[in-house]
Every structure is written in C-alpha cells, then in structure tokens.
Amino acid sequence: MLNVVFNALYQFQVSFSFLLLSAIGLAVIFGMMGVINLAHGEFMMLGAYITTIAATQGVPLVLAIVIAALGVAAFGAIVEILVVRRLYGRLLDSVAATWAVGLILSQGMLILTGPSMQGVSSPFGSFTVGQTSYSWYRVLLGVISLVLLALLYLLFMNTKFGLRARATIQDPAIARALGVDTPRMYTMTFALGSALAGLAGGLFALTATIVPFFGTNYIVEAFVTVIVGGANALLGTPIAAALLGAINAALGTKYGLYIGRVGLLLTTIIIIRVLPDGISGLLERWRMRPSGARSRK
Amino acid sequence: MRRGASLLKAENVAFVIFLAYLVVYPSTTDEFSIGNTAYFMAISLMALSLALIWGKAGILSFGQTAFFGVGGYLYGIYTLNVIGSDATWIGILVGVLAGGLVAAVLGYFMFFGGVNDVFVGLTTLALTLVLQTFMAQTAGPEWSVGEARLNGYNGMYVPQISFGDMALYGKPLYFLYFAIMIGVYVLLRWLAGSRWGYGLLALQENRPRTETFGYNVRLMQVQVFALAGGIAALSGVLYASWGSYIDPSSMGLTAAITPVIYVAIGGRRSLTAAMISSMILLQLSQSLASSAPEYALVIFGLLALLAVLFVPEGFMVALFNVIDRWLFRRSVRDTSQGSGEVVPGRGELA
C-alpha cells in the first residue's frame, strides 16, 4: 500500500517538475511581453548541447549546467535584439519569426553535430522502495524546481529588476514615463526566459538522448502548461504544472506516455473553453472581487 | 469600369500565367515530372488553407498538418474497409469531412472560449504534436480499424483514387489534382470577396468593433477554421492517395512549419501568392534535397525570417505590388489603387 502511495507521489513530482521546468522560461517571457517564443524547445536543446559538451570536456556538471543557462541567456538576448524587438505589436509575426529561428537552430545543429551526440548519464544512481527502483536525480529535479520558483519569487518581488519588471507588465507606457527603460526590460526578461530554457535543457540533458530535436520532447508540455497557467508565471505556471502533472502522472502510469500526452491536450482544450486566460485569469478575477477599486481595468 | 480596372492587376495576371503553364506543362514533360507536380498541387492546397486562415482571418494555425493527417488517415481507413467502385470518392469526402469536423470541434472550444492570437497557435501546434505521438505508437497489430493497419512509423498503406477498378495515375491524376486545386482557389477567392469574406477581414483588424457591427465573430472564426481544416484534410487525402502511403511524420514539427514558411515567404494576404509560391518552393526544396537536404530547411527558415522582418507582406506579394505600381505609373488614368486589399495590418497587442 505504502509502495503504491509512494509510487504515485513520485510520478506526480516527476511530472510536475518536468512540466514546470519546461514551461517556466516560456511563461516568464509570455507574462512580460505577450510573446510566445516558439524557439523555446530549441533553446532547451541548445542548453542540453552546451551542458553535454562542457561535461564531456571535464567541466563539473553543476558548472556545465550554469554555463548552459548563461550561454542560452546570451543567445536569447541576441535573438530579442535582432528579431523579437522588431516585431513588437505584431504578435503573430513574432511567433512565426521565433519558429523560423527554432527551425534554423535545430537544422543547423543537425548539420553541425550530426543526428545524435553521446550524452552524460544522470548522477546519484537510484533507490528502491518495495520492488520498484527510483532515480535520485529525478527527485532532485523536483527540489530544484521548487527552489527555482522561490528564487524567481525573490527576483520579482524583492529586487529593483523585479519592481521594474512588474511595472512594465502592468503598464508599459506609465513605466516608461517613470523612467523605466522598457526595451531593456524586455531584452533582460527574454534573456531570463532563455536562461530558464537553457537550465531546463541542461537538467534534462542528463535524462535523455541528445539529438537536434531534443526540444520537441518537451514543448507540448511547455505549451499546455503555459496555456493553462496563463500570464502569471509565478502563480499560474506552478498551479498549472501541478494540475497537469497530476493528470499526466495518473494517465501515464496507467496507460503509458502517449495517452498521458493526449490527456494533457484534452484537459487543456477543455480548460481554455472555461478559462481563456488560464489559471492566472481566474486568480486575477478572484483577487479583484473583494476590492474592485484596486483594479485599473 | 472600376471593376475592370481592379481585375487587371499583377496578382491576376500571375494567376492566368500560372494556370496556362500548368495546363501546357504535362504535354512538355515526362511521366515522373507530371506525377511530381501533382504532388506539389496536393501540398499547395495546404498552403491555400493556411493563407485563408492566417491571411484572410488573422488566425495563425499550426494545426493544418494535423488536419492534413486526419484527412489522409481517415481516407485510408475508409477506402481499405469499403470495397466498391466509388469507394475512393466517398473516401475523399470522408477524409475532408473528418478534418473539417475535428477543426470545427477544436475551433468551437477555442473561439467560443475566447482564445485568440498566440494561444490558437500554441493549441493547434500541441494538437499536431499530440496526434503525431499518438500515431507514432500505433505500430502494433492491435492498432487497426477493420482492414486498415495504422502501422506507426512504418506508415499506412492507402489505396489510390480510382475510377471503377482503374487507379488514376499520370495525366488524368494530374488534371484531377489540377481541377481540385484551382476549384478550391476559385472558391476561396469568391468567398474572400463575399460579405462573409469582408467580415473575416474586419475581424482580423478589430474583433470587438466587428462584433458591434453585428457580426457573430466567434461563429465566423469557427466557420473559417473548419473550412480551412477541411481543405487541409483534402490536401492530406490527395497526398496519401498519391503516394499510397501516409505516416506520422506528415504531422511532425517539421511538417507543421513548412506550410507556414511557404505562406510567409510568398505572402499570406494573397491566395494566389500562397499557391504559386508553395509550388515554387516545393520544387526548390526538391532540387535542394538531392544536393544538400539539411540545408533546405535552414535556407527556408532564413527566408521566412527575412520575410517576416523586412517584407512582412511576403516576397511574392511585394513583387506583385511593385509590378502594380510600375504599371500604374505607366498606365493612363487608372484610378483604382493597384494592390487592392493588400494593406499590412497593424496588429493589436494583447
């Protein structure tokens, strides 16, 4: 009995952490700029490659993942300045453009490094409960995702950057009038979201094979989590990841990976019918109800 | 007078030349090229469906390949199970209706839920990828519908379109595909110029304002989404029966981006540009495939990126506009503005 409960909890936290880590970078960018970075999966792929290459060169694993996050952040900043910035106010075009960037990245990686690369296996080994063996590393991923959320909360709530970022989200024009350099905020946020994608890619690199289409394994999860979570990356995304993680774990354990994915999509389609702005929209409405005077809209 | 003037523009001239070329083409070339061009025409239907939904209604759908796959698979499942002289023709209908129905259901949930813009893109892309992963795991014998084995990545066998017992190939198949493509194109041009088409144009610019004018915006979005889904499914049917084969990679990420790239490069606001440029780009991609297959998608990605950044109306539409302006300057007293409805729209932020 205990085994069953533990297994369910384990599956849930694995699903949760994969959904959260895949989606959080996408959600941060979306929440700030309304832009969906369709190269997100390829940014994760880039993180995975940087981690793998660094680790096979003898760089300690933790450092390799940090390098990956920083490298992808720098790349993201370049993409923002060269591409996304030119498309403010043309949301659909920015989606199409970032998709083209993603295509160039994955195909370019295929040309540069070939169809696959020797990966690094996940550290820490495994432990057994009852008959089943579990990976320590995947437990660690759950811990990392919670720590990451806490850090993001501190970043957005307790720093100058966070204050300016929230001001820009709330009203870009007023923020600009008060001296916030909003284009710079956008670039920094895009770099932050890219760093999170690189980090996720680096973390997942230890659990998967390293191929140029690495990102496609995670983007469905990232998309549905952002759709269900809505614009608030700090609240909406984790709740969505928990909700979808529960569904994914329940269906996935019972019927396999594919049915788990189908379940995610169907849940998402039903949720958008009820909550077009996702969980963030629901929370916003709920928060605004007692004191309507605080609302601008 | 005004009508006559507006008909004489580069877009229409290009269409007539294109039409004449395709009519003459089969008698100038070999069997293989004829079949190959029939395949291009099948795929260009998908570009047409995307130009309709993206260019005429402002809905960026990444799910056209999903409907393409639904059409192809359903056509195959039907024609493998039903034997009869006109089975393939009903099969086409089944495939198209299935694609349209899936699109209608998804569209209902999205548009009546109030989902728009980038979220439509995300949802449709998620649908595509989920369908792909689902079909990919159908390799086992338990995944069969009657006589039809889905076969996962090994691909499903699909019967060819046939008259009675005789399968169509060569010129008759070419002209069937030609008639279908041109038929769809003409239908869409007519629809785009109808009251309904003008409503679509309006809702693309400003949804709330269109709603206050009495248009049922959400219903129209579902309608156009379902229509585009049906056309994409038709494309899938023609593709699957052309090669007697369909597999899940036709719904993968790479497959999903290609129509978007064709339409972005050609010009999404013009059905003509989308159709012609997709045929040209398919030809280009095939010639690249023999020499440098990996580079084809990088080149197309770069072209699409350049188009979105610097020529947002698309290269072919830009060319049409240049020709129109040139003709306009040379022609005497042509009062109509050359380029018709091609006004790059200012998007609404959120």
pLDDT tens for A105-157 read 988 888 888 777 777 776 777 777 777 777 788 888 888 889 998 998 998 88
C-alpha span between B340 and B338 (Å, rounded): 6
Task: Give the closest of A83, A103, A110 to B257, CB-based.
Answer: A103
B248 and chain A in contact, CB less than 8 A: no
Model confidence pLDDT, tens digit, residues A67-119: 999 999 999 999 999 988 888 878 888 888 998 999 899 888 888 887 777 77
Residue A72 vs residue A61, higher pLDDT:
A72
Non-local (6+) Cβ contacts of A273 within 8 A are B109, B110, B112, B113
Instruction: Verify whether the Cβ–Cβ distance B126 to A86 is below 8 Å.
Output: no
Strand partners, B156: B246
3-state secondary structure chain B: CHHHHHHCCHHHHHHHHHHHHHHHHHHHCCHHHHHHHHHHHHHHHHHHHHHHHHHHCCCCCCCHHHHHHHHHHHHHHHHHHCCCCCHHHHHHHHHHHHHHHHHHHHHHHHHHCCCCCHHHHHHHHHHHHHHHHHHHCCCCCCCEECCEECCHHHCEECCCCEECCEECCHHHHHHHHHHHHHHHHHHHHHHHHCHHHHHHHHHHHCHHHHHHCCCCHHHHHHHHHHHHHHHHHHHHHHHHHHHCEECHHHHCHHHHHHHHHHHHHHCCCCHHHHHHHHHHHHHHHHHHHHHCHHHHHHHHHHHHHHHHHHCCCCHHHHHHHHHHHHHHHHCCCCCCCCCCCCCCCCCCCC
Buried b (16+ CB within 10 A) or exposed e, B97-132: ebbbbbbbebbbbbbebebbbbbbbbbbbbbbbbbb
Least Cα separation, residue A63 to chain B (angstroms): 31
Query: No. of H helices and E strands in chain A?
Result: 12, 2
C-alpha span between B285 and B215 (Å, rounded): 41
Instruction: Verify whether the Cβ–Cβ distance A93 to B110 is below 8 Å.
Output: no
Least Cα separation, residue B257 to chain A (angstroms): 8
- Please give the DSSP secondary-structure letter assigned to residue A210: B
pLDDT band at A290 (very low <50, low <70, confident <90, very high): low
Percent of chain A with pLDDT over 70: 96
pLDDT of residue B340: 37
**From the CB of residue A261, how many other CB atoms can be counted at a distance below 10 Å?**
23
Instruction: Verify whether the Cβ–Cβ distance A269 to B264 is below 8 Å.
Output: no
Shortest CA distance from B109: residue in chain A: A273
pLDDT band at A291 (very low <50, low <70, confident <90, very high): low
Are A39 and A101 spatial neighbours (Cβ–Cβ below 8 Å)? yes
Both structure tokens of B154: 């090994």
Say which residue the tokens 């369908």 belong to: B131
Model confidence pLDDT, tens digit, residues B229-253: 999 999 999 999 888 888 888 887 7
Alpha-carbon torsion (A271, A277, A280, A284), positive or negative: negative
Task: Give the closest of B112, B254, B261 to A100, CB-based.
Answer: B261
Among residues B217, B200, B240, B218, the alpha carbon closest in space to that of B45 is found at B240
pLDDT of residue B328: 66
B51 and chain A in contact, CB less than 8 A: no
Contacts of B260 in chain A (CB under 8 A): 96, 99
Instruction: Verify whether the Cβ–Cβ distance A92 to B118 is below 8 Å.
Output: yes
Contacts of B58 in chain A (CB under 8 A): 92
Instruction: Verify whether the Cβ–Cβ distance B137 to A256 is below 8 Å.
Output: yes
pLDDT of residue A91: 81
Least Cα separation, residue A36 to chain B (angstroms): 7
Q: What is the mean pLDDT of residues A189-206?
A: 91
pLDDT of residue B145: 78
Are B56 and B224 spatial neighbours (Cβ–Cβ below 8 Å)? yes
Both structure tokens of B340: 């018709």
pTM above 0.80, yes or no: yes
What rounded mean pLDDT belongs to chain B?
Answer: 84
Q: Is the pLDDT of residue A208 over 90?
A: no
Q: Is the pLDDT of residue B157 over 80?
A: yes
Q: Is the pLDDT of residue B339 over 60?
A: no
A78 and chain B in contact, CB less than 8 A: no
Both structure tokens of B206: 């400003």
Instruction: Give pairs for B26-32: CB < 8 Å, separation 24+.
Output: B26/B171, B26/B174, B26/B175, B31/B170
Phi, psi of B20 (to 5 degrees): -60, -40
B289 and chain A in contact, CB less than 8 A: no
pLDDT band at B329 (very low <50, low <70, confident <90, very high): low
